[in-house]
Amino acid sequence: MKLIVLKRTTLAIIVGVLLFLSAFTLNLGGVEVGATFFYMANRRHPIYAVKTDENKLAISFDAAWGADKTRQIISICKEYDVKATFFLVSFWVEKYPDMVQEIYNNGFEIGLHSDTHPDMTKLSKSQMESELKANIQAIENVTGIKPKIFRPPYGYYNNDLLDVCDSLGLSCVKWSVDSLDWKGLSASELSGRVIKNSKNGSIVLFHNNSDHILDGLKQVLEFYKSKKMQVVSVGELIYYDNFEIDNQGIQFKKF
């Protein structure tokens, strides 16, 4: 009898949970719990990092405001014989076309960072597409090349954005190591964060005009050099075919 009661109780709980989720009636802070459950189960992810046994990682710089340190960043990277990726917003490209050309001429990768730096998740699919196409055109006008990778402003994304990226042949890329340089951290603080969290396949986020990026970058690259770690552009690190991305944003090759 106890066994029967337990089974009935368990069944009742299961049925209750399913009804609760399917009804979409409970709302906490404006978020429907059932809808959130199913959304999270089907949520896609951009590339945060790459699974690899090779001793390599990628560094990147987001550029939206200011350019006075960019030329020195290029020089430091060349001094350590590393490549990097610069994610550029259209209005930055239009304001500093000579700097964009210099980035490109020195062999660095250029990626998209949107046209106007909005929260892309608040846009419709057509608006997302317009942002990306305008950004592509701005960069093509200066360099003659079409970028293949995109980093969403603030790192905000949703399934619609990833669908639009797919339709335009773009790889959507975030980061796995955040220097937090934009917070005004000292060179040792930001380099310490990056060094502590770096590993094979990491994608590191810097900003081209943060307060202590120059000294911090030197410290990071000196560490990578001591560990014989190869520093490449994002485009050299990620896969473009025959891959999967897990629920933590780790991209790995399918075999």
Domain match, 32 and 53 both? no
Among residues of the chain, what percentage have pLDDT more than 70?
84
- Does the pLDDT of residue 129 top 80, yes or no? yes
The span from the CA of 55 to the CA of 53, in Å, is: 6
Q: What per-residue confidence (pLDDT) applies to 208?
A: 97
Q: What per-residue confidence (pLDDT) applies to 8?
A: 58
For 9, the token pair is 């109780």
Question: What mean pLDDT comes out for the span 49-75?
Answer: 97
For 6-42, how does the pLDDT look when each residue is reduced to its tens digit (9 = 90+)?
Answer: 455 555 555 444 544 444 433 433 444 443 344 456 8
Q: Which structural domain range is residue 27 located in?
A: 2-42
Q: How confident is the model at residue 92 (pLDDT cuts 50, 70, 90)?
A: very high
Domain match, 29 and 95 both? no
Q: What per-residue confidence (pLDDT) applies to 23?
A: 44
Q: How confident is the model at residue 255 (pLDDT cuts 50, 70, 90)?
A: confident
pTM given for the model: 0.85
CATH number of the domain bearing residue 100: 3.20.20.370
- Does the pLDDT of residue 160 top 80, yes or no? yes
Domain match, 38 and 162 both? no
Number of domains in the chain: 2
Q: What per-residue confidence (pLDDT) applies to 10?
A: 52
Q: What per-residue confidence (pLDDT) applies to 3?
A: 43
Q: Do residues 203 and 49 touch, judged by C-beta distance below 8 A? A: yes
Mean pLDDT of the chain: 89
Q: What per-residue confidence (pLDDT) applies to 42?
A: 85
Q: What per-residue confidence (pLDDT) applies to 250?
A: 98
Domain match, 33 and 55 both? no
Domain match, 110 and 90 both? yes
Domain match, 24 and 100 both? no
Domain match, 30 and 127 both? no
- Does the pLDDT of residue 193 top 80, yes or no? yes
Question: What mean pLDDT comes out for the span 48-62?
Answer: 98
Domain match, 108 and 170 both? yes
Domain match, 21 and 86 both? no
Domain match, 60 and 31 both? no
Question: What mean pLDDT comes out for the span 134-143?
Answer: 98
| Of 16 and 77, the one with more pLDDT | 77
Q: What per-residue confidence (pLDDT) applies to 6?
A: 45
Domain match, 59 and 38 both? no
For 167-189, how does the pLDDT look when each residue is reduced to its tens digit (9 = 90+)?
Answer: 999 999 999 999 999 999 999 99
Q: Do residues 221 and 231 touch, judged by C-beta distance below 8 A? A: yes
Domain match, 35 and 59 both? no
